[in-house]
Structure 1
Amino acid sequence: MSERVKKKIFDFSLLRKVFRFVKPYRWQFYMSLVLAIVLAVFTPVRPFLIQLTIDKTDPSKAVHIPQWVHWAILNTDTSNPLHFIIAVTIFQVVFIFIETFVRFLFTFLTSWMGQSVVRDMRIQVFRKILGLNLKQFDTTPIGTLTTRTINDIESINDIFSDGLIPIIADLLSIVITLATMCWINWKLTLISLVPFPIMIVATYYFKESVNKSFIRVRNAVAALNAFVQEHITGMQLVQAFAAEDREFGKFRKINQEHRNANIKSIFAYSVFFPVVEVVLALSTGILVWYITDRRLDAGLLVSFILYLNQIFRPLRVIADKFNVLQMGMIAAERVFKVLENEDYIKKEGSYNPEKVRGEIQFDKVWFAYNDENYVLKNISLQAKAGETIALVGHTGSGKTSIISLLNRLYHIQKGTISLDGVNIEEYQLDALRGSIGVVLQDVFLFSGSVMDNITLRNPDISKEQVIAAAKLIGVHDFIMQLPGGYSYDVMERGNTLSLGQRQLISFIRALLYNPSVLILDEATSSIDTESEMLIQKAIDTLIAGRTSIVIAHRLSTIRKASQIIVLDKGEIKEVGTHEQLVALGGFYAKLHSMQFEKQVPVS
């Protein structure tokens, strides 16, 4: 593993960030630490009592019984071996139930705390994703963000349930057990731990090997999620171009990497656990040899064998838990990259008018999606309240970018954009977007009913309002023909509806909010002529008194625009009415000639 990765894994500032989410659950955290200490103290109790019990069976041996044992067995007569053994046995049975209950509380509390932190963190991550600039979604695969929101955050749960606190509990139990062994017989303790350096070396190499493979696994999981999500979404395209075999080959390669990483970790486990057993056997053998050679007590032998098992038992899993902790920290680093992403939509504006008139002005606006590669260059335009302006130009000329900037989906690099003479940056984001209705060319519908997709599950919008809007556009009859009418389930992305039907639904959705500004981005591009005539009639009625921005390749939809703006490579080339631009004989006139005089439709 590189030094860079190591540094990040042991970055205590990152651990502090994680534990900020523990703040609401402080008492559960402190209680889990108390329980960890209690369990550690409990660890050497039973072996010590077993040693006393065995020693007590030898009448010739004087056995010193500590005061706490007298208290534990309710001051039973210890001079009688039988009474003592029965009392200690009863206590051990009760003690086992108490220890089991405490261990249950510890396990449940750490897991509960981990799941609570995961819930809170996932909420914050998703809220952050909702507020990110669209640029982040342009450059980050959806599957990667899905991995951050689900898989990586779930790994953070392991920091609590299988990582930090359980490691502390195991280390405490080892320390207390070793202290007890040294208290009983420090020489015997040192002799029995002679093979221990082998265990330390094996643990180190196991930790390093498994951690590297876990990093590979995590990267492979992210790659698998991104690949599967992307290809399921684009399955129609994959099948249309008969690319199933080629894409399946790519999937098998990614999946093979995931398998290889897991097998490498499995190999490390397969080597490490037998090594632990061998070291334990060596320690036990040395212990038996030493005690037998010097004719020490049988109780001492049995208790030390039990102590060694209590040391090696957590050591078997502590390296694995440490890897779990490391992977949780790596996952936390990725999650905090999302939480600390500064490329989010700024919402500092406080201007919240009850109603906007709809006067729009772009003043020398420059915009680039990436660095200095400007897609809009020195754009200046103005739309008076109630006017309809049209944007025309080849694909990639900057039409959609202009309306995206008006909605503050992206931030401009230079210039200003104003609505009613107020910079849009000064508006509350909800107030700004609530004043603008948008119908996009690429319509997205969520899983759910037609009604849910029209209202976006807004409880303030009644079914009567939806029906009235649908009738106004002439779509009500089409919806009622669907099975279940407005309750018809459109499935994911609206796949059970045609593209034209999806656009009609999105058109209702935009108009239902009664916006002051209406944006139509190729809104009629996928609708047949009859549907277009219905929508055009509705548009003529609805744009009255509203500022409208229309992007269309079909010039028939923009003939009545107050002004038509012709864009080319991010710059304004022509501005005027339909008649003025046709008379000008420039770009617009050529496009008009292609569509109406030569009857060549433009897609």
Structure 2
Amino acid sequence: MAENVYSEIEEKLKVEDWRVVFRLWKYTKPYVPILILALVLIAASTALDLLPPLLMRKAIDDYMDNQYSLVVVEEGDSYSFVQSEEGTFYLQQDESGMYSVTDGTTTYPITEKQLTELRVEDLNGIGQIAIFMSLILFSLFFVNYGQVYATSYMGQKITHGIRVDLFRHLIRVPMRFFDTNPSGRLATRVANDTENLAEFFTSVITSMVKDVLLLGGIIIIMLNLSTYLGLITVAILPVIAGAIFVFRYFDRVAYRKVRTRLAIINAFLAEHISGMSITQLFNQEERKKKEFDTVNKSHFKSLMEQLWVFAIFRPLLDLLYYVTIAIVIWFGVKSIIGNTLAFGVLVAFISYIDMFFRPLQDIAEKYDIVQNAMASAEKIFKLMDEEEEKYNSNESGVKSLEGTVEFENVTFAYDGEHKVLKDISFSVRPKEKIAFVGETGAGKTSIISILTGLYKIQSGKIKIDGRNIYDYNLQSFRKKVGVVLQDVFLFSGSILDNIRLFDKTISREKVIEAAKYVYAHHFIERLQDKYDTVILERGGTLSAGERQLIALARAVVFNADILVLDEATANVDTETEALIQRAMERISKEKTMITIAHRLSTIRNADRIMVIHKGMLVESGTHEELLSKGGIYSDLYRLQYELGDIA
């Protein structure tokens, strides 16, 4: 199935969170001041969030459901009220709407004027509470704004650093790594997985800190308001902790599958969009649609597994919330009836229970994101742990090369087992023109791969100017080796930038001079914007021959001392082939040139032709010498002549 081709191993729970967090801390350290500022703002925000229920309780118990320290002074048939600690009266309202005060035994009707005098302090107190509430809300707005801005800035900077390091690492891993890892999967790591970490740093870390502080503050306040009701509420915590522990395990497993199968989709899309022309030419649309449907269904199933886990956990928290509310109201009302609890305290308790479960639900949701982030971080760091290509940084940069190339008993296998080159030995003198020929799969292109150090050989030696290739700084060494492949890769950008590979230190004049040197200037001048003509990815708007000429100009502009051409004229028209041949003749007078070719007509003028057969060097000599031997080269030449490939 298509999925198996692109899939990764779905790992079991084996990487501890603390190890991942420890590695993430490296990227967080530069922004510790911002993190501290965010935590201070979070603490302030938490304190402000805890105040409204307390103000509500005060408004109810001290100003709405108030008791008054009064005594009644009777004056004949009338009476008045005097402030005194000796008497306690409560305000009440009958069914007709009339107010009166009572001390539990005697009830005294009061006038509207007396009611206003009696409640003037209550109204003033409620007014003050309203002002405090408004100040708290405005303060929360500015504090939360500062906290969100600080955490978002920190999260994006951290993610930027991880993404840059990951891409820097990717461009330094050996080519063998890219042979077994689809580009779509790697794009998922750099783009999607780092974005998951951005969400983790932006919203999760600080939010969970606030939730923990809020929970702690709520528990302390509830126990202070009523130890009895507080203990009843806190008793639910072990049940919640158990639910979170179970949820943690299953959610991590589900998210690993989601991330792995998303990478499979990206890998499938990257490959099939690139190969769309083949799909359409061979009428494979329906089959490819079915393959993608299989891959997509696998991703859908993993999402449903993750949704199933979360769909159970969230309603469970809701159930616990309503059960807790019911229990607190039941015992709270009994306490009010027993005159051991104020009504305002019960109202505040219900508000705090609502606040108590909000951070729990938030932690559940954020924990969902944490699992996503940890799964992504594991994959990112697993990619970062891939061994980088060694560049021998102690070696000084290569200024120039004479161009001597020596292979001494070189054996090479891409996978370390199945040999594609076997005991190859040859030498190339400076400014010599060497050509390799042989049937498809003989190992010709593999010689380029190991000559440039992209792959390491299993045995033997490769020497450049008498030095082992691995003693050079390979980054510096490759600047002096120009490679023109059969399928030239061009980046999105202008012709100018593709020749100088976006190196602004190389002047336009030097680029034009190089283009003229390899006969590319003429066709470039015919383009609408000439050297500033913008081409799309891989240069699809240019012919194969035009791309080859640009690649030759690229090699010249970077002043390579050794030029390697892999099937440079295999897919070009006769006119362009003639231009490439002229360019190669001109270049070969100044540089060592190694050519790999199927079309033997293009290498008849080579100083030496080497024939590779089944990974071994079997013949060597000039065109005439090899023809006279009547060996493999002679057979290849005769076959092409009969097929009409040789004029």
So what's the TM-score if we normalise by structure 2? 0.85
5+ long unaligned stretches in structure 2: 1-8, 70-118
The aligned residue for residue 70 of structure 1 is: none
The aligned residue for residue 126 of structure 1 is: 167
Tell me by how many angstroms 1:203 deviates.
4.4
C-alpha distance 346-352 of structure 1, shift in aligned 2 (>3 A): closer
Tell me by how many angstroms 1:571 deviates.
1.3
Tell me by how many angstroms 1:248 deviates.
0.8
Cα distance between partner residues in 2 of 1:579 and 1:3: 58
Q: 1:101 aligns with which of 118, 125, 142?
A: 142
The aligned residue for residue 557 of structure 1 is: 602
The aligned residue for residue 181 of structure 1 is: 222
Which one is further off, 255-264 or 90-99?
Answer: 255-264
Structure 2 residue 221 is the aligned partner of structure 1 residue 221:
no
On the 8 A contact 1:158/1:325 being kept in 2, the answer is: no
Tell me by how many angstroms 1:177 deviates.
0.6
C-alpha distance 3-362 of structure 1, shift in aligned 2 (>3 A): closer
Tell me by how many angstroms 1:210 deviates.
4.2
The aligned residue for residue 27 of structure 1 is: 33
Cα distance between partner residues in 1 of 2:264 and 2:396: 43
The aligned residue for residue 325 of structure 1 is: 370
Bigger Rg, which one: 2
Cα distance between partner residues in 2 of 1:52 and 1:6: 51
1:350-361 equivalent positions in 2, closer than 5 A: 350-361=395-406
C-alpha distance 352-277 of structure 1, shift in aligned 2 (>3 A): closer
C-alpha distance 371-599 of structure 1, shift in aligned 2 (>3 A): closer
Cα distance between partner residues in 2 of 1:136 and 1:460: 32
Q: 1:249 aligns with which of 287, 290, 293?
A: 290
Q: 1:47 aligns with which of 49, 53, 56?
A: 53
Tell me by how many angstroms 1:197 deviates.
5.5
* AA partner of residue 634 (structure 2): A
* AA partner of residue 431 (structure 1): S
Which one is further off, 243-252 or 569-578?
Answer: 569-578
Tell me by how many angstroms 1:272 deviates.
4.0
1:175-214 equivalent positions in 2, closer than 5 A: 175-193=216-234, 199-200=240-241, 202-204=243-245, 206-214=247-255
* AA partner of residue 389 (structure 2): Y
* AA partner of residue 125 (structure 1): L
* AA partner of residue 622 (structure 2): T
Q: 1:16 aligns with which of 13, 22, 25?
A: 22
The aligned residue for residue 212 of structure 2 is: 171
On the 8 A contact 1:21/1:121 being kept in 2, the answer is: yes
The aligned residue for residue 84 of structure 1 is: 125
Cα distance between partner residues in 1 of 2:149 and 2:305: 31
Tell me by how many angstroms 1:580 deviates.
2.0
Tell me by how many angstroms 1:185 deviates.
1.4
C-alpha distance 519-506 of structure 1, shift in aligned 2 (>3 A): same
The aligned residue for residue 190 of structure 2 is: 149
On the 8 A contact 1:193/1:283 being kept in 2, the answer is: no
As a proportion of its length, which structure holds more strand?
Answer: 2
1:237-386 equivalent positions in 2, closer than 5 A: 237-295=278-336, 296-386=341-431
Tell me by how many angstroms 1:148 deviates.
0.5
Q: 1:453 aligns with which of 480, 484, 498?
A: 498
Q: Aligned to 1:418, what secondary structure does the other structure show?
A: strand
Q: Aligned to 2:258, what secondary structure does the other structure show?
A: helix
Which one is further off, 200-209 or 182-191?
Answer: 200-209
On the 8 A contact 1:446/1:453 being kept in 2, the answer is: yes
C-alpha distance 170-206 of structure 1, shift in aligned 2 (>3 A): same
* AA partner of residue 167 (structure 1): M
Percent of aligned positions that are identical:
37
* AA partner of residue 478 (structure 1): F
The aligned residue for residue 459 of structure 2 is: 414
For residues 135-187 of structure 1, what are the alpha-carbon distances to aligned partners after superposition, in whole Å with 9 as ceiling and x for unaligned? 11111000000001000111112222233332222122112211111122111
So what's the TM-score if we normalise by structure 1? 0.91
For residues 441-497 of structure 1, what are the alpha-carbon distances to aligned partners after superposition, in whole Å with 9 as ceiling and x for unaligned? 111111122222222122233333333333333332222222222222221211112
Count of aligned positions: 584
Cα distance between partner residues in 1 of 2:632 and 2:487: 26
Which one is further off, 516-525 or 348-357?
Answer: 348-357
Structure 2 residue 157 is the aligned partner of structure 1 residue 113:
no
Cα distance between partner residues in 2 of 1:433 and 1:590: 36
Cα distance between partner residues in 1 of 2:295 and 2:200: 28
For residues 357-397 of structure 1, what are the alpha-carbon distances to aligned partners after superposition, in whole Å with 9 as ceiling and x for unaligned? 11111122222211222212222111111111111111121
The aligned residue for residue 68 of structure 1 is: none
* AA partner of residue 135 (structure 1): R
5+ long unaligned stretches in structure 1: 63-77
Tell me by how many angstroms 1:529 deviates.
2.0
The aligned residue for residue 479 of structure 1 is: 524
* AA partner of residue 585 (structure 1): G
Which one is further off, 290-299 or 160-169?
Answer: 160-169
Q: Aligned to 2:420, what secondary structure does the other structure show?
A: strand
The aligned residue for residue 601 of structure 1 is: 645
C-alpha distance 548-3 of structure 1, shift in aligned 2 (>3 A): closer
Cα distance between partner residues in 2 of 1:147 and 1:449: 28
Which one is further off, 474-483 or 319-328?
Answer: 474-483
The aligned residue for residue 525 of structure 1 is: 570
Tell me by how many angstroms 1:301 deviates.
0.8
Cα distance between partner residues in 1 of 2:593 and 2:160: 43
For residues 106-162 of structure 1, what are the alpha-carbon distances to aligned partners after superposition, in whole Å with 9 as ceiling and x for unaligned? 222222211111101110111111111111111100000000100011111222223
On the 8 A contact 1:160/1:166 being kept in 2, the answer is: no
Tell me by how many angstroms 1:531 deviates.
2.0
